[in-house]
Amino acid sequence: MSPQMWENALLPFGGIKILLGGDFRQTLPVVPKKGRDEIVASSITISPLWRSCKVFPLLENMRIERNVPPITIDGRNVAFRDWVLALGDGTEPSFLLGDDHDPLWIRILDEVRVEHNGDALDAIVNEIYGELHQIHGDIDYLRDRAILTPLNEFVESVNNQVLKRLSGDFRIYKSCDNICEASSSSAADEALYPPEYLNSLKFSASVGYTKNIVYREIFDNIM
């Protein structure tokens, strides 16, 4: 082993430069059955390796570059993107709730809340896609709005609620993650094309994986 290789062996990742990306303010590590303190303690910023990292922050938020009307906070007009950044930086005022020992809760402003009288999902869909039945063929209309959910189990409920607003029937096309069984196939073929590889393939087709496609309509909603 050369002296250079020996020196690199003592460095993190053997001296190889590793590029990591992500926003620690939005995505924390998943630690099953652990509390807030244990989850934060598992972040890479707590690791001894963090001292060897060089951070290159993104200075421009591309997600909220569009012209969004300002919101009112305590009588002051504040840019929406500034409010979002304040949430991420932890500078937005917080308060105690229940038996909490630390102020972990923030007040969501009335300007960004959707009021409802019982059916919260229907109220959200009506707020975001209220005119869908009239202009579902407008690409710009569909591109400029989306409903995000914290868990995948909510996605189907959201999709079904949106599809109810469209006329016509819809069909569900499901993908297959196995190779076609033919007379020439063998166990070697299955080893060469495991489900993980098949699921990674992307085709330039109108239907890829599971989609809800409204029959005789232009709109399709990826699940």
Residue pair 210/172 in contact by the 8 Å Cβ criterion: yes
Give the global pTM.
0.50
Q: Kindly report, residue by residue over 190-201, the tens digit of the pLDDT.
A: 677 777 777 777
Give pLDDT, residue 210: 45
Same domain, 134 and 106: no
Q: Kindly report, residue by residue over 134-169, the tens digit of the pLDDT.
A: 888 888 888 888 898 888 888 989 988 888 888 777
Residue pair 125/147 in contact by the 8 Å Cβ criterion: yes
Same domain, 177 and 194: yes
- 172 strand-pairing partners: 212
54 pLDDT more than 50: yes
H or E segment at 171? strand 170-173
Same domain, 194 and 210: yes
User: Can you give the residue range of the structural domain that contains 193?
Assistant: 114-223
**Higher per-residue pLDDT: 22 or 155:** 155
Give pLDDT, residue 117: 84
Same domain, 31 and 76: no
Same domain, 18 and 46: yes
Same domain, 152 and 79: no
Alpha helices in the chain (DSSP H): 3-9, 36-41, 80-89, 120-129, 132-135, 139-143, 155-163, 187-192, 195-200
